[in-house]
A and B are shown apart, each in its own frame.
Chain A
Amino acid sequence: MSDCCPCSTDNWPELERGFRAMLPEDILAFIDAHRHQEHSESLLIATLHQVQAHFGHLGPGHLEAVAQLMQIPLAKVTGVATFYHYFRLQPRGRYLINVCLGTACYVKGAEKVAQKLQDELGIRFGETSKDGIFSLESTRCVGTCGLAPVVMIGDEVHGPLTPSLVPGLLESYLARAAEDLVTDPSR
């Protein structure tokens, strides 16, 4: 093919540089090592696992970089990332709140506690509060049914809870976050 155009219209080299800058070396090495193998697209999930392990979540930029560098259509990549519960598309807050919706907690009113948490934080399950301090998730039984209904915040268990106890509980973690900020502003 003759090519006598003086100016290149190929945007790939520039785009590729940008995509490579999005991902750490070890993940790039993993992609490069398998890129030209047969069925390399089957390593998509493995790659996404590594990206989430590194960044804590899968951001739009990470997903696009994975798609382009692995040459897998982006729609496929975001389709896979949104299919599996394991993959998080939002950064996780400092404190992860896990509301137990197991049978014992449920009959003891976990749903009301969950609703109060959502109202107080202004977020729904799977989301992170605007200040980046809390993420809200649900879980099935944490093995402390005697304290039902229970909520785990980080690795601490709280129970039995009622909706009226929720604001105070959140306050205590907010205070802790503010204290951390004073002692270690880099966090």
Chain B
Amino acid sequence: MSQMISLKIDGEPILVPAGTTVMDAAETLGIHIPRLCYHPELSLEGNCRVCVVQVEGFDHCLASCATTAWEGMEVQTNSPVIREARRDIVELLLDNHPKDCQTCDRDGICELQNLAYRMGVRERHFEGRRKQFPIDDAGASVVRNAEKCILCGRCIRVCGEVQGVFNLSQHGRGFTTVVGPANLAPMDESACIQCGQCVSVCPTAAFLEQDHTERVWKALGFPRTDKHVVVTTAPAIRAALGEAFGLPMGTPVTGKMVTALRRMGFDAIFDVNFSADLTIMEEAHELLKRLEGGGPLPLLTSCSPGWVSFLEKFYPELIPHMSSCKSPMQMQSTLIKTYYAQQKGLDPKDIYVVSVMPCVAKKFEAARPEHVLDGMPTTDAVITTRELAQMIKSYGIDFTRLPDSDFDHPLGTSSGAGDIFGATGGVMEAALRTAAFKLTGKNLGNLELTEVRGVTGEIREASISLAGRTLNVAVANGLQNAKVLLEAVKRGEKDYHLIEIMACPGGCICGGGQPYPPIGTYTMNHDLARARAKALYSIDSAKTLRCSHDNPDVQKLYADFLGEPLSHRAHELLHTHYTARTPRGIR
């Protein structure tokens, strides 16, 4: 048992384990010390000074997040001195910040705005020169607006500590300090992999996703003469969209989401889960082929576009290991403009495909030159869960009161294996369900492979015996974890057959495009990730159709259109290739 120490906070005695910070000690007493640069899943910086407290015997204030409590310590969290200091700090931050709250994307869910309100900042006392920087909005995925930056450093920390990309750093000094990629290069010309975790952790609007809502509104406009507008939703959306409308974390809202999309006027509403099933069909066959000696092992999954960019910039030598399968989004969009177009008798040029994704990197993926069909992009617009929520609100739809409805055919039916794609380990579990069937001729007795489940950062491994063969698999989420796994593979310490990697911590359910958690809850929070994952696993377990190869619409697609998995046509439409890219990342 660790040693306990006693201290007093605001006059109340408390006993905490040695090593506890003053901020955490106060929390156990129900005292929430205001904070800004602090993020529980990232290292401590103590640079914003908002969480200052007064400590007996010190004539200056101490940052409670970075101060470890000591025996006999007496702390004041709300003395007049502290209240004034804290408010001054927030005022100083505000006075070097644009005054455009009403027109800002973060209005209402901005940590700085919320803090200013809570601190009672009602006037500006320190008005002076304000820093001005150009906005970098040329990137396909991430927009960087340094004018809104308060230099808290969360983005720098998440990019390095969680994603292992280290693409952001402070540049310059003093008043003109600015956070950005090396040489303040445009995001898409830097080592950025577009995962959008900087957007997720930013307390203000210094990082945002590239907005696609305007082009979707335009496509949906009336009268709609030229375009057949199709929307297709990723597995992880249904697990998190409800949060944007005040529903409890992890409320599955599939039916309401479909109804909302129908009311917004989309001509067809499809489910990317269908193509998740299809991805499994292709990827499982790719795995079997490689097991029979047709290619390098381990096979790496290719659904996560942040991870794809990471591979191309950080581990290009492993490109031959990458599954050539397009992501489910790209498979789905391709099928909409080929298979569905053919069925409906539509010219693919007249179809407008909108993908709803939990992901910021999908915008970059959609813009990749390899994803074109007759010279046009296969996916026309990618909106994040956040953008969809904003559109639903803007449309005036009372989301929580909507009745449920179903996806359209033929790209709307999915197995439970498709649903769990949104959580880390889900692609692996879905792939193993189908690989097992292909190897043994029958479905697994227990379809729930709990060894590969779990939303925390640990690398998960499993060995599964199938038809006299043992398959070794591993799952990583968060690219810093992926680095550890890939380095072990490169050193020859591990002998895996299949590795699933998702760029974002927890998988797509905690993607860079998911709703901001309510103020006070932080991204990467394990309870939040668990709740969202549980939503997907509950959808899966409630379905009778739980394996991708059992999906009747996928079977029909192969019978009518593609032929076999890995057929020439499947290769042409459903597979892609990767290229080593620069600037090369530092591993």
Q: How far is the CB of A80 from chain B (nearest CB, A)?
A: 8
Is A73 within 8 A of B166, CB to CB? yes
B297 CB–A CB distance under 8 Å: yes
A-binding segment of B41-49, B168-176, B419-427, B515-523: B168-176
Is B584 within 8 A of A12, CB to CB? yes
A47 CB–B CB distance under 8 Å: no
Is B582 within 8 A of A75, CB to CB? no
Query: Residue of B at shortest CB range from A19?
Result: B584
B130 CB–A CB distance under 8 Å: no
Q: Chain B residues near A83 (CB, 8 Å)?
A: 170-173
- Contacts A12-B584, A79-B169, A79-B171 given: A74-B182 contact, CB under 8 Å? yes
B-binding segment of A2-10, A28-36, A93-101, A134-142: A2-10
Is A78 within 8 A of B317, CB to CB? no
Q: How far is the CB of A17 from chain B (nearest CB, A)?
A: 13
Is B160 within 8 A of A73, CB to CB? yes
B167 CB–A CB distance under 8 Å: yes
Q: Chain B residues near A68 (CB, 8 Å)?
A: 584, 586
Is B316 within 8 A of A75, CB to CB? no
Query: Residue of B at shortest CB range from A89?
Result: B183
B583 CB–A CB distance under 8 Å: yes
- Contacts A2-B297, A4-B295 given: A71-B492 contact, CB under 8 Å? no
B403 CB–A CB distance under 8 Å: no
A67 CB–B CB distance under 8 Å: yes
Is B166 within 8 A of A3, CB to CB? no
Report the Cα distance A8→B171, complex, angstroms.
36
- Contacts A10-B580, A83-B172 given: A72-B317 contact, CB under 8 Å? no
Q: How far is the CB of B199 from chain A (nearest CB, A)?
A: 17
Q: Chain B residues near A10 (CB, 8 Å)?
A: 316-317, 580
Q: Chain A residues near B318 (CB, 8 Å)?
A: 9
Q: Chain B residues near A72 (CB, 8 Å)?
A: 586
Q: From the candidates B170, B295, B317, B579, name the one contacting A79 in the complex (CB within 8 A).
A: B170
Query: Residue of B at shortest CB range from A71?
Result: B586
Is B296 within 8 A of A5, CB to CB? yes
- Contacts A1-B490, A8-B317, A9-B316 given: A76-B584 contact, CB under 8 Å? no
Q: From the candidates A9, A11, A75, A79, name the one contacting B320 in the complex (CB within 8 A).
A: A9
A82 CB–B CB distance under 8 Å: yes
Is B319 within 8 A of A76, CB to CB? no
A174 CB–B CB distance under 8 Å: no
Q: Chain B residues near A77 (CB, 8 Å)?
A: 182
Report the Cα distance A8→B296, complex, angstroms.
13
Is B166 within 8 A of A76, CB to CB? yes
- Contacts A3-B320, A9-B580 given: A73-B586 contact, CB under 8 Å? yes
A63 CB–B CB distance under 8 Å: yes
Q: Chain A residues near B319 (CB, 8 Å)?
A: 9
Is A75 within 8 A of B166, CB to CB? yes
Q: Chain A residues near B182 (CB, 8 Å)?
A: 63-64, 67, 73-75, 77-79
Report the Cα distance A4→B295, complex, angstroms.
7
Is A82 within 8 A of B171, CB to CB? yes
Q: Chain A residues near B297 (CB, 8 Å)?
A: 2
Q: How far is the CB of B295 from chain A (nearest CB, A)?
A: 7
> In chain A, residues 43-97, which have Cβ atoms closer than 8 Å to a Cβ of chain B?
60, 63-64, 67-68, 71-79, 82-83
B171-201 to A contact mask, C-beta < 8 Å, 1/0: 1110000001111100000110000000000
Q: Chain B residues near A107 (CB, 8 Å)?
A: none
Q: Chain A residues near B295 (CB, 8 Å)?
A: 4-5
Q: Chain B residues near A4 (CB, 8 Å)?
A: 295-296
Q: Chain B residues near A82 (CB, 8 Å)?
A: 171-173
Report the Cα distance A31→B235, complex, angstroms.
48
Report the Cα distance A11→B582, complex, angstroms.
9
Q: Chain B residues near A1 (CB, 8 Å)?
A: 296, 298, 489-490, 492, 495
A15 CB–B CB distance under 8 Å: yes
Is A11 within 8 A of B316, CB to CB? yes
Chain A interface residue count, CB cutoff 8 Å, equals 27
Is A63 within 8 A of B582, CB to CB? no
Q: How far is the CB of A119 from chain B (nearest CB, A)?
A: 22
B224 CB–A CB distance under 8 Å: no
Report the Cα distance A88→B150, complex, angstroms.
27
Report the Cα distance A75→B185, complex, angstroms.
10
Q: From the candidates B169, B173, B190, B580, name the one contacting A76 in the complex (CB within 8 A).
A: B169
B393 CB–A CB distance under 8 Å: no
Q: How far is the CB of B75 from chain A (nearest CB, A)?
A: 34
Q: Chain A residues near B580 (CB, 8 Å)?
A: 9-11
Q: Chain A residues near B32 (CB, 8 Å)?
A: none
Query: Residue of B at shortest CB range from A67?
Result: B586
Is B167 within 8 A of A11, CB to CB? no
Q: From the candidates B190, B296, B490, name the one contacting A2 in the complex (CB within 8 A).
A: B296
- Contacts A1-B490, A5-B320, A71-B587 given: A15-B169 contact, CB under 8 Å? no
Is B169 within 8 A of A73, CB to CB? yes
Q: Chain B residues near A2 (CB, 8 Å)?
A: 296-297
Report the Cα distance A106→B122, complex, angstroms.
39
Report the Cα distance A73→B170, complex, angstroms.
12
Q: From the candidates A3, A9, A11, A75, name the one contacting B169 in the complex (CB within 8 A).
A: A75
Q: Chain B residues near A78 (CB, 8 Å)?
A: 169, 171, 182-184
Is B317 within 8 A of A12, CB to CB? yes
Report the Cα distance A8→B317, complex, angstroms.
7
Query: Residue of A at shortest CB range from B322?
Result: A9
Report the Cα distance A75→B319, complex, angstroms.
25
Report the Cα distance A8→B315, complex, angstroms.
12
Q: How far is the CB of B188 from chain A (nearest CB, A)?
A: 15
- Contacts A1-B489, A60-B183, A78-B169 given: A11-B296 contact, CB under 8 Å? no
Q: How far is the CB of A43 from chain B (nearest CB, A)?
A: 15
Q: Chain B residues near A8 (CB, 8 Å)?
A: 317
Query: Residue of A at shortest CB range from B312?
Result: A9
Report the Cα distance A1→B585, complex, angstroms.
22
Report the Cα distance A1→B181, complex, angstroms.
34
Q: Chain B residues near A60 (CB, 8 Å)?
A: 183
B544-587 to A contact mask, C-beta < 8 Å, 1/0: 00000000000000000000000000000000001110111111
Report the Cα distance A49→B296, complex, angstroms.
45
Q: How far is the CB of B400 from chain A (nearest CB, A)?
A: 43
Is B317 within 8 A of A74, CB to CB? no
Q: Chain A residues near B171 (CB, 8 Å)?
A: 78-79, 82-83
A sample of 22 cross-chain residue pairs with beta-carbon separation below 8 angstroms, ordered by A number, consists of: A1-B490, A5-B295, A8-B317, A9-B318, A11-B580, A15-B582, A60-B183, A63-B182, A63-B183, A68-B586, A71-B587, A73-B191, A74-B183, A74-B191, A74-B583, A74-B586, A75-B169, A75-B181, A76-B166, A77-B182, A82-B171, A82-B172
Not counting A2-B297, A73-B169, A78-B171, a sample of 13 additional A-B residue pairs whose C-beta atoms are within 8 angstroms of each other reads: A1-B489, A1-B492, A9-B318, A9-B319, A10-B580, A60-B183, A74-B183, A75-B167, A75-B181, A76-B166, A77-B182, A78-B184, A79-B182
Please provide the 10 A-B residue pairs with the shortest distance between their CB atoms, ordered closest to farther: A73-B166, A79-B169, A5-B320, A10-B317, A75-B169, A74-B182, A9-B319, A11-B580, A75-B182, A78-B182
